[in-house]
């Protein structure tokens, strides 16, 4: 890990940038996500995610203009995640959209309740709580070829970091773990979600929901860590 001075906590600005970058990433890979979902599911995942993140972008603009949800500190690092949670829970259809909303909600809570500024411990707590909520709701286990296959490894990776570790480093570790998890779904047969009805059609295709989880952590990492500070893993 780098010994240079760097960001040790998550600020309002870094979380805003994280979600803005995720929105841009999702938009640029939407054709690929949709193509994957058409092979295995019902083809609406990429579109739902883009629609959701477009809504999040509008909510972030409103937050920047001071028109956010009054219940939270609008300048806190949790406020952008809370705004994203509301958009995904309230306005996104399908089932995987609102499941992302649960992850955002738990991340917002963990960051909001952490000591200032929230760091790796809060990220680990929020991601674990998000994974737990999504598993309670969707009843999926690792290996069922769902977003859980990326989220659970990410949560474990965060938990394995020192609580005081630089969050940039922790998010990098989480992104690598999530990406490996997403790739591991390629050869699986789906056991949950729409893809479970398509039998072996889903084999050979990674789960788009798991890939999206990997992209979420990758987006955060890219923002928080400049290339020359990338830890080697």
Is the Cβ of residue 103 or residue 224 nearer to another protein in the bound state?
103
Overall size of the chain counted in residues:
233
Residue in 125, 105, 103, 104 with CA at minimum distance from that of residue 114: 125
Residues that bind another protein (CB under 8 A): 89-91, 93, 95, 98-99, 101-102, 105, 109, 133, 136-138, 191
Is the Cβ of residue 97 or residue 153 nearer to another protein in the bound state?
97
Is the Cβ of residue 68 or residue 112 nearer to another protein in the bound state?
112
Is the Cβ of residue 145 or residue 172 nearer to another protein in the bound state?
145
Sorted by sequence, the CB contacts under 8 Å of residue 18 that are 6+ apart come out as 80, 219, 220, 223, 224
* Residue 170, CA distances (Å) to 6, 49, 76, 144 in order: 13, 25, 20, 26
CB 60 to another protein: min, Å:
20
CB 136 to another protein: min, Å:
7
CB 191 to another protein: min, Å:
8
Both tokens of 193, joined, read 């979600």
CB 50 to another protein: min, Å:
19
Cα separation, 13 vs 220, in Å, equals 12
CB 90 to another protein: min, Å:
5
Is the Cβ of residue 72 or residue 180 nearer to another protein in the bound state?
72
Cα separation, 77 vs 181, in Å, equals 27
Is the Cβ of residue 78 or residue 109 nearer to another protein in the bound state?
109
CB 137 to another protein: min, Å:
4
Instruction: Dump strand ranges (E) for 112-179.
Output: none
Cα separation, 34 vs 61, in Å, equals 27
Burial code of 109-121, b = ≥16 C-beta within 10 A, e = fewer?
A: bbbbebeebbbbb
């Amino acid at each position: 890990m780098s010994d240079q001075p760097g960001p040790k906590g998550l600020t309002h600005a870094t979380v805003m940038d994280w979600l803005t970058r995720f929105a841009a990433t999702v938009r640029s890979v939407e054709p690929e996500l949709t193509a994957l979902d058409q092979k295995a599911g019902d083809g609406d995942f990429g579109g739902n995610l883009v629609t959701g993140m477009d809504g999040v972008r509008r909510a972030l603009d409103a937050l920047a203009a001071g028109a956010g949800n009054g219940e939270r500190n609008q300048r806190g690092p949790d406020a952008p995640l809370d705004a994203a949670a509301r958009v995904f829970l309230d306005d996104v259809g399908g089932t995987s959209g609102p499941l992302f909303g649960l992850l955002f909600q738990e991340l917002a809570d963990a960051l909001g309740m952490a000591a200032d500024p929230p760091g790796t411990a809060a990220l680990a707590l929020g991601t674990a709580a998000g994974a737990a909520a999504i598993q309670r709701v969707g009843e999926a286990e690792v290996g069922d070829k769902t977003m859980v296959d990326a989220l659970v490894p990410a949560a474990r990776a965060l938990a394995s970091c020192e609580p005081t570790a630089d969050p940039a480093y922790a998010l990098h570790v989480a992104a690598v773990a999530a990406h490996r998890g997403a790739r591991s779904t390629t050869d699986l047969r789906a056991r949950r979600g729409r893809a479970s009805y398509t039998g072996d059609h889903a084999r050979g295709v990674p789960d788009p929901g798991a890939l999206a989880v990997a992209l979420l952590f990758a987006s955060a990492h890219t923002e928080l860590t400049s290339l020359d500070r990338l830890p080697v893993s």
